[in-house]
Structure 1
Amino acid sequence: MDTKDIKRQLNISLWISFFTGIFFFTIFTKDKNFHNFLICFLVSSLYSFVLVFGNYYSNSYLNKKYSWIDNTKRRIILGILSTVLVNVILVIVCNYLNFIVLQKNNPDHFFSGQLGFVNWLIINIALLISAIMHAKGFMEEWKKSSRKEVVEQKLIAKSANAQFESLKNQLDPHFLFNSLNVLSALIDENPNQAQRFTASMSKIYRYVLEQKDKELVTVEEEIEFAKTYCELLKTRFEDSVSFDFMVNEAALKSYVVPLSLQLLLENCIKHNFATSSKPLHIKIFTENGFLLIENNLQQREQVKESAGIGLSNIVQRYSLLTKLNVFIEKSDDFFRVKIPMLTQKVSAMSSQPSQESMAYQRAAKRVQELKGFYGNLISYCLVIPFLIFVNLYTSPQYLWFVWPMLGWGIGLASHALKVYGVGRAWEEKQIRKILDKEQSK
């Protein structure tokens, strides 16, 4: 056992012994002297130490076997059973030591008359304290789990953000390097075109700088940029390359990752040869929620291994933003890439709530139900013993406390059935069935 926990239980036992000793000394002791106070304190210590450590070890054992978070229902049921059993046994042992061994009462009257009532009353008090400690333990475990989950999610978010920034930062030097290569080739081939290319490149690079800090841009912005970039490519390749834009107007307000079209167009040029006799035809069009870039396949031999920045960069950036996939299709005649067009500008896209999100919402609702039930149970355990005490102290001949105890008890039982009953399992089964059906579509 943890030494810190044992020290904490010792402190709890001492404080309970002190306050209960003062209570019994003040209310039930006629002769107010130090000797009687010491006896009250020692008797209180007997009860508090036995009950506190008895409950502590039984709860520690259950906590090792069954988690409050992963096995909530089983942990609660076993906790209630063990609490009742452990407290009944421990109270009877303490009462026997107190009333029979120390006070020399007749053992035959231990379970009857006044001693029987004292047994019942102390058992209820012990159960009340134990119920409060159980509720406290559950809430502590849940808070600990919630804090752990929040920390994990923050770390995941920071990692994803750092990865995304790293991917975006690849684009600036990558684009500039390739553009300078094209410019270098044009300077030798056609100085006038090189001058026009430089002017166009400055406009395009301005767009690159403007979009570098964005996670998503509209399809309309990306198409306009792609058209400008295609004009730049036409400057170099003239009639060796043709571009055909067929984008549905309804798709222009959707979102894609920045510079995705530029990278894919660059891939088409990089991996295919283009001549006047065998021109490269590139089509940009929309279909079923995807933006497609397709070219006729005229694959050139790779002199050196490709760095693979373009396509892999797009795939990785989409994987950080959405569960929708980037599709790559290749045949003997064409090469096609399909990138999803997103309908909401958020950090994590999804067409419907994820199963994890729905599970979290159900878990949060479950916690509220459990908190309500435990609040009801603790109130019952606090108020009913108080009413019993008032009843027996003021009018013991008429036991009126039975009626609120029964009425409230029935309500508490119905509350327990609602929280842990058969209907709960049926509801969770139906939710699981619906989720499985949606995933299979």
Structure 2
Amino acid sequence: MKRKDFIILLWISLGTSLFFFLFFTDEHSLKSFMLTLLISSMYSFLIGIGNGFINDFLNKKFPWSEATTKRAIVSIACILVANFIIVYFCNYMNFVVFQKNATTEQFFSGKYNFTNWFMVNIALLISAFLHAKGFMEELKKTSRKEVVEQKLIAKSANAQFETLKNQLDPHFLFNSLNVLSSLIDENPKQAQKFTASMSKIYRYVLEQKDKELVTVEDEMEFAKTYCELLKTRFENSVDFIFDVQKEDYRRYVVPLSLQLLLENCIKHNFATSSKPLVIKVFSENDTLCIENNLQVREQMKESAGIGLANIVQRYSLLTKRNVFIEKSEDYFKVKLPILMEKPNVISAQPNDNDAAYEKAQKRVKEIKSFYSNLISYCIIIPFLAIINLTTSPKNIWFYFPMLGWGIGLVAHGMSVFAIGKNWEDKKIREILEKQNKQ
């Protein structure tokens, strides 16, 4: 327990000792007050520290956030046994050792059964309050931790996506300048034409690189323009075939994905007029396919692998669907998922768990409602008991609200932890399974 808890227990001991000393003690002397303070401290510290130790131990073994139902059952069993032992020990020390109002035989003969029973109930109420407080504190910690984790995940996803997108700008410019450099020596007129076309294409790169997704139609128009640029350099050495279904035009793909894959086809394969490189772009089973005949050229240096890896990583942040790669002796094919709708990078993952999140949120509200009811019970019933025993000790009436409210509290607890929504969901599944089998 923390230092703060000890200070609270000390103030409780002082407050209860003053209350009993002023209203229930005949002899108002320093010795009498010190005895009352000793007895009050014994009850306060043993009940408080005992339940605090149980709560800390159970928090390590059965955290509320991981095993709520199991923790509730274990907590009830532990506080019943522990408080029964603590109260009997405190009452024995109080009546037999300190005040000497009874002998050991009288204490265990049944003379103090009502007192023991009453004190056990008070201890259980205090214990329930302490455990409920512990539950609420852990619930707040867990909620704060989850919020921080989600913020970190969101920031990480944003940063990762921005990094991947920022690769495209210099990557495209570097490769285009390489092509332009080659054309300047080979065909200066074509180099001028290439420069004019490159400015149009680069404008599209700047416009689209900050978007998560673009329509297939926009990407196809850009790809055709880019292919014309490649034709300027390679002429009859490269052929392009486009066969994308019109219904796929309004769907979505990762921007600049076609440009990167077309560039890869050129970079990793040789192309001549006698052996032209044929690149096909077509749609197939909700995928956009880029296929080329395999004419692998010898690489002077190892490729950086930015193109395809960039596309795969960006798709992984947007959807659970994978980018597929097929390779044989004759061809190389990449299949890009065509997405039906435009997801958000940050909310894509949580949206898949909306139903589970709402269910968990509802579950937390049910548990909080039960513990609010329990805390109210722990505060009001002892207050009513003190009023009853102070004003009319011969007419015990506080049993009725205690039992009535207690039965309602037990029913509430059973509905939350034992036979609540989990039981209903289980029965619904069983009925549906039986109907499906018939």
**What band does the TM-score fall into relative to the shorter chain?**
0.7 to 0.9
Q: Where does 1:331-346 land on structure 2 (aligned, <5 Å)?
A: 331-342=328-339, 343-346=341-344
CA 191–430 in structure 1, closer or farther in 2 if over 3 Å, else same:
farther
**Residue 23 of structure 1 is aligned with which of 16, 19, 26?**
19
Q: Is the 8 A contact 1:186 1:236 kept in 2?
A: yes
Q: Tell me the secondary structure at the aligned position of residue 307 of structure 1.
A: coil
Moved more, 185-194 or 408-417: 408-417
The alpha-carbon deviation at position 139 of structure 1 amounts to: 2.0
CA distance in 1, matches of 2:129, 2:379: 10
Match of 1:410 among 407, 410, 416: 407
Task: Tell me, in whole angstroms, the C-alpha distance in 2 between the residues paired with 1:421 and 1:53.
Answer: 29
- Aligned partner of 1:370 in structure 2 is 367
Alpha carbons of structure 1 residues 427 and 337: separation in structure 2 relative to 1, 3 Å: farther
Aligned to 1:325: 322
**Residue 388 (structure 1) shift:** 3.9
Over 3 Å counting, the alpha-carbon distance change for 1:135 and 1:423 in structure 2 is closer
Contact 1:124 1:385 in 2 (8 A): no
One-letter code of the match for 1:139? M
* Contact 1:284–1:291 (8 Å) recurs in 2: yes
Give the distance between the partners of 2:204 and 2:69, measured in 1 at CA.
57
Tell me, yes or no, if the aligned pair for 2:217 and 2:249 is still in contact at 8 Å. Answer: yes
For residue 224 of structure 1, report the CA deviation from its aligned partner. Answer: 1.9
Cα distance in 1 for partners of 2:221, 2:138 equals: 55
- Larger relative CO (CA 8 A, sep 6+): 1 or 2? 2
Q: CA deviation at 1:391?
A: 4.3
Aligned equivalent of 2:169: 172
Paired letter, 2:11:
W
1:77 corresponds in structure 2 to 73
Distance in 2, Cα, partners of 1:366 & 1:176: 54
Alpha carbons of structure 1 residues 351 and 7: separation in structure 2 relative to 1, 3 Å: closer
Q: CA RMSD in A?
A: 2.8
- Structure-1 residue corresponding to 2:52: 56
2:92 to 86, 90, 96: 96
Match of 2:274 in 1: 277
Aligned runs of 1:7-406 on 2, under 5 Å?
7-30=3-26, 34-107=30-103, 108-110=105-107, 115-342=112-339, 343-348=341-346, 354=352, 359-393=356-390, 399-406=396-403
AA aligned opposite 1:66: F
Paired letter, 1:344: K
What's the secondary structure of 2:239's corresponding residue? strand
SS of the aligned residue for 2:90 comes to helix
Residue deviations 1:63-107 (CA, integer Å, cap 9, x gap): 332222223222221111111111111111111111222222123
User: Secondary structure at 1:329's aligned position in 2?
Assistant: strand
| Secondary structure of residue in 2 paired with 1:407 | helix
Displacement of 1:390 in angstroms is: 4.1
Report the Cα distance in structure 1 between the residues aligned to 2:420 and 2:94, rounded to whole angstroms.
46
Q: 1:48 to 1:146 in 2, by over 3 A?
A: same
The amino acid of 2:243's aligned partner reads: M
Q: Tell me, what secondary structure is at the counterpart of 2:189? A: helix
- One-letter code of the match for 2:156? S
**Inter-CA distance 350–64: structure 2 relative to 1 (3 Å threshold):** closer
Q: Does the 8 Å contact 1:111/1:119 carry over to 2?
A: no
Residue identity opposite 1:63 in structure 2: N
| TM-score of the two chains, using structure 1 as the length reference | 0.87
Is the Cα–Cα contact under 8 Å of residues 323 and 350 in structure 1 kept in the other structure? no
Asked whether the 8 Å contact 1:322–1:348 carries over to 2, the reply is no
TM-score, with length taken from structure 2: 0.88
Which amino acid is the alignment partner of residue 133 of structure 2?
K
Q: Residue type of the partner of 2:272?
A: T
Deviation, structure 1 residue 136: 1.4
In structure 1, the residue matched to 2:434 is none
Q: Deviations over 1:200-251 (max 9, x none)?
A: 1111112212223222222222222212111111111223222232333333
Where in structure 2 are there 5+ consecutive unaligned residues? Answer: 431-438
Paired-residue identity, %: 64
CA contact (8 A) 1:68 1:75 kept: yes
The separation in 2 between residues aligned to 1:98 and 1:349, in whole angstroms, is: 62
Relative to structure 1, the CA distance from residue 429 to residue 274 in structure 2 (aligned partners, 3 Å threshold; closer, same or farther) is farther
| One-letter amino acid of the counterpart of residue 200, structure 1 | S
Q: Give the stretch that moved more between structures: 326-335 or 340-349.
A: 340-349
Matching residue's letter, 1:381: C
- Using a 3 Å threshold, how does the CA distance of structure 1 residues 112 and 392 change in structure 2: closer, same or farther? farther
Q: How many aligned residue pairs are there?
A: 428
Q: CA deviation at 1:394?
A: 5.0
Corresponding letter in the other structure for 1:197: F
- Residues 374 and 432 (structure 1 numbering): CA distance in 2 closer, same or farther, change over 3 Å? same
Superposed displacement of residue 42, structure 1: 2.2
| Residues 112 and 363 of structure 1: CA distance in aligned 2, closer, same or farther (over 3 Å) | farther
Q: Deviations over 1:124-175 (max 9, x none)?
A: 2211111111111122223223333333333333333323222222222211
C-alpha contact (below 8 Å) 2:213/2:342 kept by paired residues: no
Question: Residues 408, 190 of structure 1: CA spacing in aligned structure 2 closer, same or farther, 3 A cutoff?
Answer: same
- Residue 416 of structure 1: how far off its partner (Å): 2.1
Give the distance between the partners of 1:32 and 1:204, measured in 2 at CA. Answer: 97
Instruction: Judge which range, 394-403 or 39-48, deviates more.
Output: 394-403
